[in-house]
Amino acid sequence: MKSENELVLEEFYKIITPNKVEMFDRIALERTKYFTVALENIYQEHNASAVLRSCDCFGLQEMHVIEKNNEFAVQRDIALGAGRWVDVYNYISENPTDDCILSLQNQGYKIVATTPHTNAYSIHDLPIDQPLAFMFGTERQGLSEEVIERADYCVKIPMYGFTESFNISVSVAILLQVIRQRLENSDLSWKLTSEEQTALKIEWCKKILNGGPALEHQFRQSLQKEL
C-alpha cells in the first residue's frame, strides 16, 4: 500500500513536465544528509554562494550558516539557483556557533573542524563511519576557538606550496569531492531513504509551481476524504 506522501507526489507528477519528473527522480537518488557543511561568519558573499553551489553539485541537501557580524546573502549569478534546491539553516542568536553545534550534534553529526594547522587527519583518512558536519571559517581568521575545542575531529586538506590555505570555496569543493568518493566506495548507508526522497521531491515540486503549498494541502485533503 502506498503512503500518503507517495500519493501526493503522484498528484504533483501529473502536473509538472516529464523532464522535471525525470530530473527530480534522478537527483533525489543521489542526495544525502549523511554529511553537511557549516560556514562560520563568512563575510564574502561570492564565497558563501560558491559553497552553496558546491553543496548542490555534490549532492548535499543541507547547509548551515553561522551569522555573527556577517549576514549571509546569496549571489544568484554565482549560486546559479542552488539556493532553490539546498536547504539552508541560518543561526543568528546571541551565540550562533553554540546553537549550530548543538543542533548538529542533536541530529547525530560528528563535528569536524577544517584547519590547515593540524596533522590529526587528512581528508583521505578521516573516519567516515558516522555522519559528519564539516565546519569552515574565514580565510583570514579560520574557525573560532570554540569550534576547534568542541570538534570531534580536526581535518586538513593536503597542500604542497608556499600558501597555507585554499580559498574557502575551493577548500569546500575539494573536501566534498574526496568525502563523496570515499562514501561511494564504502558499504555505508549514506543516501536518503526512499521515504526521505519522496518527501524531498514533494518539496521540490512545491517550489517550482505557483501555489505549491496550497496544492499540497488540496491533495492531502482529497486523500483524507477518500480514506
Count of other CB atoms within 10 angstroms of residue 185: 8
Written as one string, the DSSP assignment of 121-181 is -BTTTS--SS-EEEEE-BTTTBS-HHHHHH-SEEEB----SS-----HHHHHHHHHHHHHH
Residue 78 has pLDDT above 70, yes or no: no
| β-strand partners of 91 | 66
Percent residues over pLDDT 90 in the chain: 70
Q: In whole numbers, what is the pLDDT of the chain averaged over residues?
A: 90
Angle at 106 between CA 178 and CA 69, to 5 degrees: 75
pLDDT band at 142 (very low <50, low <70, confident <90, very high): confident
- For range 155-169, the mean pLDDT: 84
Q: What is the pLDDT of residue 191?
A: 97
Phi and psi at 219, nearest 5°, equal -60, -45
What is the model's pTM? 0.90
Instruction: Specify the pLDDT at position 72.
Output: 58
Nearest in space to 66 (alpha carbons), one of 86, 85, 48, 84: 48
Residues contacting residue 28 through CB under 8 Å, at least 6 positions apart: 192, 197, 200, 201, 204
Amino acid at 18: P
Per-residue pLDDT tens over the stretch 171-180: 999 999 999 9
Burial of 186-212, coded b for 16+ CB within 10 Å and e otherwise, reads eeeebbbeeebbbbbbbebbeeebeeb
* Residues 7-21: tens digit of each pLDDT: 999 999 999 999 999
- CB atoms under 10 Å from CB of 93, counted, come to 11
Q: What pLDDT sits at residue 80?
A: 42
- Encode pLDDT of 18-76 as tens digits: 999 999 999 999 999 999 999 998 766 677 888 999 999 999 999 999 987 655 555 45
pLDDT in tens, 96-135: 999 999 999 999 999 999 988 777 899 999 999 999 999 9
In this structure, the number of other CB atoms found within 10 A of the CB of residue 2 comes to 10
Q: How far apart are CA 125 and CA 130, in angstroms?
A: 14
> What does R_g of the chain's alpha carbons equal in angstroms?
19
Q: What is the mean pLDDT of residues 74-97?
A: 74
Q: Is the pLDDT of residue 209 over 80?
A: yes
Q: Distance between terminal CA atoms of the chain?
A: 13
CA 164 – CA 102 distance, rounded (Å): 30
Tell me what the mean pLDDT of segment 200-212 comes to: 95
- CATH class of this structure's domain 32-184: alpha beta
Sketch the domain layout of the chain as residue ranges.
Answer: 4-27+192-226, 32-184
- What residues have CB less than 8 Å from 17, skipping those under 6 apart? none
